[in-house]
Amino acid sequence: MKSVLKLATAAFAALAVVAGVAFAQDASLQTLRGAQIDEPVTVVGVPKQDKKRFGRAYRHQPPLIPHAVDQYQIDTNANQCLGCHDWSNAGERNAPTLSMTHYLDRDGRQLDEIAGTRWFCNQCHVPQADAEPLVDNTFVPSFTR
Ligand code: HEC
Ligand code: HEC
């Protein structure tokens, strides 16, 4: 057993060396910002979420979330987003109300509570900061409100 383990360790070490050499030799590998992968890149200021709503880039885009979400739990029992965004709380919390599409079940019936199909908000909505894109792209928004 011991010798099998030793052999395996030796084989793994040899593999790591070979992989290491191959990796170091490939100078064509670059990061998204165009730097060599082993070259440290200075980050100039981390963009903050500034709580201002974003315009929408196309019809039916789920709006981007302008605030942090890491403190808000969503699981089968709890959804803390509703504490501010459900119609029953939004006025008081000064938050945008969920649109009525979020209260339609899959057969199109209007419900009083959020539809199950809209429970997991981050399936469709993602947090975003107002930051420069990492790589250039040619996307042109077709619609802004
Ligand atoms: C403490 C209250 C609060 C909680 C909890 C909260 N939000 Fe918000 N949210 C806000 C407020 C206030 C705004 C609007 C900011 C503004 O208008 O400047 C907002 C904006 C948004 C928007 C943008 C809407 C638009 O039309 O642009 C989305 C999407 C959103 N929140 C999703 C979420 C999700 C998903 C969660 C849970 C992970 C969540 N929020 C939890 C208060 C909250
Ligand atoms: C299946 C995708 C999906 C899920 C899940 C979902 N949304 Fe949305 N949401 C959208 C789309 C698409 C829109 C824009 C069109 C519309 O209003 O229906 C929207 C609009 C919104 C708006 C803006 C309403 C307005 O009138 O400006 C808020 C706020 C929002 N969603 C919050 C949430 C929260 C909070 C959850 C979770 C409880 C959630 N959404 C779940 C897709 C989704």
- Domain ranges for the chain: 6-42, 82-123
Ligand 1 atom nearest to 54, measured from its CA:
27
DSSP string, 36-93: BTTS------PPPP--PPPPPSSTTPPPPB-S--TT--BSSS-BTTHHHHSHHHHHHH
Q: How far apart are CA 25 and CA 55, in angstroms?
A: 45
pLDDT digits (tens, 9 = 90+) for 112-121: 999 999 999 9
Q: Which of 13-17, 32-36, 37-41, 106-110 bottoms out in mean pLDDT, i.e. has the lowest?
A: 13-17
pTM above 0.95, yes or no: no
28 lines ligand 1 (CB under 6 A): no
65 lines ligand 2 (CB under 6 A): no
pLDDT for position 12: 61
CA 19 – ligand 1 centroid, Å = 46
122, 112 contact by CB (below 8 A): no
Residue 86 token pair: 């459900």
Q: Which residue has the higher pLDDT, 122 or 134?
A: 122
Q: How far apart are CA 59 and CA 143, in angstroms?
A: 6
Length of the chain: 145
In the chain, what percentage of residues exceed pLDDT 90?
Answer: 45
51, 67 contact by CB (below 8 A): yes
53 lines ligand 1 (CB under 6 A): yes
CA 84 – ligand 2 centroid, Å = 13
pLDDT digits (tens, 9 = 90+) for 5-29: 666 666 665 555 555 555 555 678 8
